[in-house]
Amino acid sequence: QLQLVESGGGLVQPGGSLKLSCTASGGTLDYYVIGWFRQAPGKSREGVSCISNDSGSTNSADSVKGRFTISRDNAKNTVYLQMNSLKPEDTAQYYCAAGIICHPWGPSRVHGQGYWGKGTPVTVSS
């Protein structure tokens, strides 16, 4: 079955950048709508950015528009999230998910469906 592994998280100062990766095994990512989600301590999981499996169109939450960019490299079976101009409020565990819904306002998860990675932590602090 499809397995997803996130990487690239870490500690960065406000205004800095990180690039997250989501690499799939056991399946081909280009068959799926892919989304990045995040969850901060004490908060619910929220959609960040997503990319379609057909047109390659992308959508992001208003909170990250202009700062985060999602992209896909089908040859590497990998999806990326380039995060620039990071803010302390971006601090969260970031998750990659396949088989989600990509709305104009960002991704949403379908409970009981889809494939999820274990997440990678991002901490933005001075």
Residue type at position 48: V
pLDDT value of residue 112? 85
pLDDT value of residue 119? 98
- Residue 88 exposed, middle or buried by CB count within 10 Å (0-12, 13-18, 19+): exposed
pLDDT tens digits, one per residue of 13-54: 999 999 999 999 999 888 999 999 999 999 999 999 999 988
pLDDT value of residue 29? 87
How many CB atoms neighbour CB 9 within 10 A? Answer: 19
Is a pLDDT exceeding 90 seen at residue 111? no
Which of these, 27, 26, 19, 74, lies nearest to 49 by C-alpha position?
A: 19
